[in-house]
Amino acid sequence: MQLRIVCPEECVFEGPVAYVAVPTTVGEFGILPHHASEICTIDGGRIRVSESQMGVTDRVFAVTDGYVQVANDEVIVLAERALDIEKVDAEEVSAQMAGFEDELGKMSENDARRAYLYNEIAWCKLLLSQ
């Protein structure tokens, strides 16, 4: 089956896979070839991809909220953000998170930009979680 992971800026992954596990709003959703058609909302988390056989995780992608569509042996993930975990520089992400937390600490409680910083910190935590 084919998998595409797409966010507004780019197509993060496209290729054949044997199995995909997606974090949905109601729990993890496992998808094998010939799966029935379905559309689900996804939650922030990690997509695990098995390229050759089920049970072997070959790639992992961090994603934020979005949707997954399964139809005709094709899985399309549309996410607000997506990134291959192999491309994460832990030191850089930790430094970014520290900067966001520092900036958040300097803001007043009713500053509208706090929500943006909370989202950025959550994204950094997701990238750093094992």
Q: With 70 as the cut, is the pLDDT of residue 130 above it?
A: no
CB neighbourhood size of 119 (10 A): 15
- Kindly state whether residues 20 and 81 are assigned to the same domain: yes
Boundaries of domain holding 30: 2-85
- Quick check: 32 and 40 in contact, CB under 8 A? no
Which ranges of the chain does DSSP label H, i.e. alpha helix?
90-106, 114-128
- Kindly state whether residues 119 and 66 are assigned to the same domain: no
**Burial label, 41 (beta-carbon count in 10 A; 0-12, 13-18, 19+):** exposed
| Residue 8 DSSP label | T
- Residue 17 is predicted with a pLDDT of 97
- Kindly state whether residues 20 and 40 are assigned to the same domain: yes
Tokens at 66, concatenated: 């979005």
pLDDT band (50, 70, 90) for residue 69: very high
- Quick check: 99 and 121 in contact, CB under 8 A? no
Tokens at 3, concatenated: 């998998």
- Kindly state whether residues 16 and 64 are assigned to the same domain: yes
Tokens at 38, concatenated: 């379905």
- Kindly state whether residues 93 and 104 are assigned to the same domain: yes
pLDDT band (50, 70, 90) for residue 52: confident
Confirm whether pTM is higher than 0.85.
yes
- Kindly state whether residues 80 and 108 are assigned to the same domain: no
- Residue 107 is predicted with a pLDDT of 87
- Kindly state whether residues 49 and 106 are assigned to the same domain: no
- Kindly state whether residues 117 and 72 are assigned to the same domain: no
The CATH number of the domain where 48 resides is what? 2.60.15.10
Which CB contacts under 8 angstroms, 24+ apart, belong to 98-105?
A: 100/124
- Kindly state whether residues 66 and 98 are assigned to the same domain: no
pLDDT, tens digit, 9 for 90 and up, residues 71-121: 999 999 999 999 999 999 999 999 999 999 999 888 888 888 999 999 999
- Quick check: 24 and 45 in contact, CB under 8 A? no
Tell me what the mean pLDDT of segment 2-13 comes to: 96
- Residue 111 is predicted with a pLDDT of 86
